[in-house]
Chain A
Amino acid sequence: MARIMPRKDVVIVGLGWTGSIVAQELTEEGLDVVALERGVWRATSEDFAVTNAQDEVRYRYRHELFESLSRQTLTFRNNMNEIALPMRQLGSFLPGTNVGGSGVHWNGQTWRFLPSDFVARSHNEERYGALPEDMTIQDWGVTYDDLEPHFTKFEFLCGIAGKAGNIKGELQPGGNPFEGWRSTEYPTPPMKMVYGPTLFAKASEELGYHPFPGPSANMSQAYTNPLGVSMAPCTYCGFCEKFACGNYSKATAETTILPVLMEKDNFTLRTESMVLRVLTDKQKTRATGVEYITAEGELVEQPADIVILAAYITHNVHLMLVSGIGQPYNPRTGEGLVGKNYAYQTMSGVTLFYDDDTWFNPFVGAGALGMCVDDFNGDNFDHTGLGFIGGGYLAQWQTNGRPIESQPTPEGTPKWGAQYKKAVRENYQHSISIGAHGAQMSYRQNYLDLDPTYRDAYGRPLLRMTFDFTENDYNMSNFLTDRLVDIAKVMNPKSYKVSRREGPYSIVPYQTTHNTGGHIMGASPADSVTNRFNQSWDLPNLFLMGAGNFPQNPGYNPTGTVAALAYHSAQAIREQYLSNPGPLVQA
């Protein structure tokens, strides 16, 4: 029998980026908010000191900031004919745990999706005609214009460093001419570039493309955000992604919101509180709270008027499925919506090798230090006759020279032995990589449901992921990779190695922690789990945050849009829902 806690106005599951944003916004409204975090409290001064943070074995390979699969994992198969087996080791993606969530160990590449990304189905159908039958992409129900103020709010929270390309319709030299309009310039100027990005920018310009500095949540200068929280200039230490910043130089929940949120009397955080299910009334018309288990193994029930799921997308979807909320998606019939439209990111790259007298100093890096080109993203170019829709940005980021992880070697180098060792030694300081950050359209056969065999440490069935790349992905990625090769040739290296997106998806090598979909948003309960405010169509007092809302995954890193959606949702709760609790959009 679970112990029942006093009722709260709001219970939030997970205190990462979105949980912190929504908690901050709703406590401003005077609501009594409790956040339940499965991990522990983490903060810069105690846990991420600059003398300790740069430990590759400890953080990258022993996963100190990542979720432990011993508690909960998922099973994976490429298609419905295979038996899904557990992801026993983390690999392809690295969700975080503890306060701050995955946001603690992100790189900080902070994008806005294109206006056309939010209307992907109607836009592409209008321009190119009917889409493939199994391609299940759709419009988001929310537009770029709706989200613009929320993108801006997040960028000012973080002090994003960048150069605007379009301010209220006026193109700005030096910025991205393809981006959606911005109400104002970025809060801080771009990062200072190391050598590699300047070579990429020069070559792309020669080819007629439009290079611009990547938008960065690593601080190009000291910054105090609108909440009064200060950050320090980035020191280019090269330990961003997969690491925590020891220097208050990377925008995370810890460095932007929590110093203010944690001081509030109407906010409570409970750590080591693992939510096992969402509780509902018998008729499944509303959520009544959540049930969680403490570190000591005690079951606790937290009743609340509003329930907000702000866990990583796989866990949000899992909670929906194990709580019996909504109809699970069935790929054979196309019926059901929970778990539908799982998508990922389609990555490829080219590594360039130069002579011994060309020095890149790869260890001088930052997570979002680089130059980008957006000419081949979204629908920024004509896709007629190309055999795919979507695209991605191209970039040369100099993120790190971490010696276990970053061992660029030329084509044909063995993975071990004398030649391998020699190649690592000879190329470490003389090579750079350029990459294509490709979109992924959702398809009928890629989805999430519950596994019939394997269970987590709490006895619940594991989530099961059925996923593979599709023809659209391969065609798109080949096209983008060809553009990279064009740029690489102009960059004039001694040799280059092309890593195309080939073969089936593998859960083993790291790609990105950009998993999307599964509780997708849309304009109608017939095709989506949440409405344009990320409110559940079925249970109007249940809100879902995060990239699980993406109906498909555009060719950018997701965090900027994830955060903008959270602000958009919080504003609707504050301004509309509280005075009239019920559906914010009539079905």
Chain B
Amino acid sequence: MKKKRFVYPLALVAVSLLLLLAACTPESRSSSGTPTAATGEEPKVTLDFWTFWGSETRRPIIEKIIDDFNQSQDRIMVKHTYLPFGDIWTKNLASIAAGNPADVIVNDYADVNLRASKNQNTDLSSYLAEDDIESRFYPELWNNVLYEDKAYALPFNTDTRLLYYNKEAFREAGLDPEQPPQTWAELEEYAQKLDKKSENGYEQVGFYPLWGDFGVDSWLINGDGGNGYFDESDQAAINTPGKVATLEWLKSWQDRLGRQTVDAMKADFGSGVSDPFISGKVAMYIQTGTYNTQIEEFGQDLDIGVAPIPEREAGSGHWSSGGGFVVEIPKGAAHPEEAWEFIKYLTDVDAQKYWAMENFDNVANIEAAEDPEANENPVYQASVENLADTKVFQVPLSASGYKDLINPHTDAVFLDKETPEQALEGAEKDVQALMSKNQ
């Protein structure tokens, strides 16, 4: 009798502990593996490659590139793991902290230096010493992967912004469709000619600077001679005359159209067929090079042209802004040499050219980007040429989090709560306070 009483609860505890252990083992990540027919006799090294490219368009492309790599040699087998865009960053952080990170990961270009300072990616200098591939990349992009003059990632792709304009609308308004606006003054002039007003609002707005993929920060670069918020010596350069003038110019557009109109129209914008440019609500629209795929899918009847971003005045420069992604080896990855082989392949001409041609995305490898076959598409060619004027900025480490301090001030300008001078003065003061705290 006594034994029975003890066995029961003990068995229950054992079972529940087993369940606890089962629940606590690391979950197998969802992955779509490439065929694992291993024919070689040497032990294969398997690499885990994390990306967030799971869409119907991108996934097959990256998986073909991985497949090509796997077929091209015997030692390394790369496995693709897809993680959703927001999740991938936190999972990466957690896995590095836990000591079992991915072998290669696609990460954001903007904070390579922040991650490097926090020991989250691997210094590639020793690999580059034997294999100096720096020259295959655009110099602007190369600067962004440096931390203390050492490379911690390789640039993979980038983008640039162009002015898309509706040639049909130009003809209707009596403008020459082959002569897009070159300067801010021309831009304003053409925009006003392209405005089509009706009793209850605008049927077509010629142009509004902040609709599209060119925000206040991008315009401030364009209007201030290609200079971002921080100058060469990592000092804050926010309250400059060029930027104040730019902000005033941007505000004048809102004053002319009326804030209510701007907000109301913007809220109606969608994507696909209800995209403002594709549906004809806006005649000129700034967007990235890959926007062309949307036009080809949803707006085949449109007669469009692209142009570099208008410069402030003749000669000040058609500055555009860009972003992009890099490939890096998380710190603590098990097979860094093999991972290096793979990222070398990813950034080499074949893989990059395939990516460029299938996606119409701007790639980091110069030879692949300027390949004549890809450049047959005029919009793509324009985007590649535009890279020369595209600024891609690295944020100084002491200013991490600067956006949350600048944006409220620039928002305030468009809400009539601060003048452009006050806004930029306030923003510079706040950012400088942040930087001195972090020194």
The finding on whether chains A and B are genuine partners in a shared complex, rather than unrelated, reads: no
